Amino acid sequence: MLSIPPGLDPDLLRSFVLIAEGGSFTRAAQAVGRTQSAVSMQIRRLEEILGQPLLLRGTRGVEPTQHGLWLLERARRLLALHDEIHSTFRQPSIAGAVRLGSPDDYALRWLPGILARFAASHPAVQVEVTCAPSNELVERLGGGELDLTLISEGNEPAGARVRWLWHGPLIWVGMEEPARRRPLPLALASAGCSWRTAAISALDAADLPWRMAYTAASLSGSLAVALAGLAVTVAMPAPLPEGLRVLGAAEGLPPLPDFGIGLLRGPAMPVAEALARHIEECFQLETGFETRMRA
C-alpha cells in the first residue's frame, strides 16, 4: 500500500523562512502575529515532519543548519507560489495601469521578484516603472507623475505618511587597497543622496580625509568603479559582485548609520493599493521586517 507523507503546512514554512532570514524567533513571531512559544512549536513540528534539525542558535543568533539551508531556498519558492494561487482566487479582479517609482539602488535587488509575482496574480494590470534618485521620485509623485514609489530614508517630505518596509545598516564596499588610501577615494551618488550624506558625515566625524573620485548616477555605477579598484562606495547589505567585500574598522573606516526603505503613495486608487499591499508583503516575506507606518 502506498504511504502518503504528511503535508507541509505553509504556515510552518513561513515561520521557518522568517526565522532563518531574520535570525530571531521573536521577530518572526511578531511578523506572523503569534507568540514566540507558538512559533517554536511550529518549528519543532516541522522538524518532526522532516526528521532533521533545521535551525541552531549560533554566535549571530539563530542560523539554519545544512538541511535548513536546503529547505530555505525551496520554501521561498513554495510560499511564493502558494501566495500567488491564494491572491489570484481570493482578490477581486483588478485591471488598469499603475506607475511605480524606485531608486536604481533597489531595482535589481527587489523589483524582479516583486513585479514577477504581481504580474502572475494580477495579469490585467500594467505596471510602468521609473528608476530615478529618491528626491526626484518624490517630486514626480507630488506632481502626479507616479502613483507610488520606493524611497530611501531622508528623502520623505515633511509630514508625509510613509510605510517603512525595511530598516538596517549601510555598509562600506570595495577592495582593501583603495580603502587604505588617504584621502579616501569615494564613488557616490550626486549631492542630495542620503547615502552620500551619511558617508561624508561619518568620515568628517571621524576626522578621516576623503575625496570624491567618482560620481555615479546609480549603485551599479558606483560598484563598477569599486570593482575597478579605484574607490570605495556605500551600499545596503546584499550579495556583492565577485571581487568586492564589506569594509570596516579593519581598514580604518568609521561605522555608518542605519537607513530605511520606505513606500510613499499618491491618491488612493484600487490598482495602486493592490500593488502597495503586494510590495509590503514581499518585503515582509523576504526580510522578516514588520512594515510600519510613520509620519
pLDDT tens for residues 217-228? 778 889 999 999
pLDDT tens for residues 10-51? 889 999 998 888 888 888 887 777 888 888 999 999 999 999
- The pLDDT > 70 percentage for the chain reads 92
Quick one: fold of 91-168+260-294? Answer: D-Maltodextrin-Binding Protein; domain 2 (3.40.190)
Strands (E) across 65-170 are located at 96-102, 125-131, 148-152, 162-169
Which three cell numbers mark 64?
539554519
CATH of 171-256 among 3.40.190.10, 3.40.50.2000, 3.40.50.10490, 3.40.50.2300: 3.40.190.10
Amino acid at 135: N
Which three cell numbers mark 199?
558617508
Please determine, for residue 293, whether its predicted confidence score (pLDDT) is greater than 80.
Answer: no
Which three cell numbers mark 230?
579605484
Helix 66-90 vs helix 10-22: crossing angle, to nearest 10? 130
User: Which residue reads 588610501 in cell numbers?
Assistant: 181
Q: Where are the domains of the chain?
A: 10-89, 91-168+260-294, 171-256
Do 91-168+260-294 and 171-256 fold alike per CATH? yes
The total number of residues written for the chain in this structure? 295
* In contact, 109 and 261? CB cutoff 8 Å: no
Which three cell numbers mark 66?
545544512
Indicate whether this model's pTM tops 0.85.
no
Please determine, for residue 6, whether its predicted confidence score (pLDDT) is greater than 70.
Answer: no
Which three cell numbers mark 139?
517630486
CATH of domain 10-89: 1.10.10.10
CA gyration radius for the chain?
21
